[in-house]
Amino acid sequence: DSGVTQTPKHLITATGQRVTLRCSPRSGDLSVYWYQQSLDQGLQFLIQYYNGEERAKGNILERFSAQQFPDLHSELNLSSLELGDSALYFCASSSPLDIKDDYGYTFGSGTRLTVV
Amino acid sequence: AQSVAQPEDQVNVAEGNPLTVKCTYSVSGNPYLFWYVQYPNRGLQFLLKYITGDNLVKGSYGFEAEFNKSQTSFHLKKPSALVSDSALYFCAVRERVDTGRRALTFGSGTRLQVQP
């Protein structure tokens, strides 16, 4: 167990629907990152939050949004789903500690989204 | 902007032979470099990192990586491959900044296949 919890593990939904993916970061980590992993595009950075505030945006579609709550858990909302949104969605968290203690990220086990 | 290139989609090596997984990077300033490994249906796991200092970095499971600034490379190596090393390997980079932490940029991944 990495300490980063993602739910649900699997999700099957129809095109046009909306889903919410949840992530609880490792205890003490303030930053949460969302990544999309698809077969043809590798690991794509979507968005980063730090202590409740959006810090950086990557290749996130307008149909997607995220937020980080006061308890530091984060949710990724995907709407108007298309077949091409089928992918593994990873959440990762990182520590605010000094860089010598920085292991980059701790990843959750991901949510596999299948859009049919 | 920061980017990472992993030029090989797959590397095949016989058990007991040395292995190398290649990675080159591009950042505006000095980099922080990471290697992660992903086993099937799992999140990415930290292997090793280069922050500063010795160019040869030793990590988990007998892996090591050599930072070469002039060639902007950070190749992953292991003297003797095991069948259990078969997995997907990701190189990642983040530019050093004085404040905050930018998101990691990942390479496209290299699948390592170790034959018995």
Q: Which residues of A touch B53 (CB under 8 A)?
A: none
Q: Do A105 and B44 touch (CB under 8 A)?
A: yes
Distance from the Cα of B58 to chain A's closest Cα (Å) equals 14
Q: Which has the higher per-residue pLDDT, A88 or A96?
A: A88
Residues 6+ apart with CB under 8 A from A79: A18, A63, A64, A65
Mean pLDDT within B98-103:
62
Q: Does B32 touch chain A (CB under 8 A)?
A: yes
A50 neighbors B100 (Cβ within 8 angstroms): yes
> Tens digits of per-residue pLDDT, A54-83?
988 888 999 999 999 999 999 999 999 999
Residue found by looking up tokens 């605010």 in the block = A96
B2 neighbors B52 (Cβ within 8 angstroms): no
> Tens digits of per-residue pLDDT, A11-44?
999 999 999 999 999 998 888 999 999 876 678 9
Arithmetic mean of pLDDT over chain B: 91
Six-digit token string for A30: 């303030």
pLDDT of residue B95: 76
Site from A105, A106, A109, A114 to mutate, B interface, most B CB atoms within 10 angstroms: A105
pLDDT of residue B100: 56
Contacts 24+ apart (CB under 8 A), A47-55: A47/A76, A48/B103, A49/A74, A50/B100, A50/B101, A55/A31, A55/B100, A55/B103
pLDDT at residue B98 tops 60: no
Mean pLDDT within B16-42:
91
Distance from the Cα of A5 to chain B's closest Cα (Å) equals 11
Mean pLDDT within B22-46:
89
A78 neighbors A18 (Cβ within 8 angstroms): yes
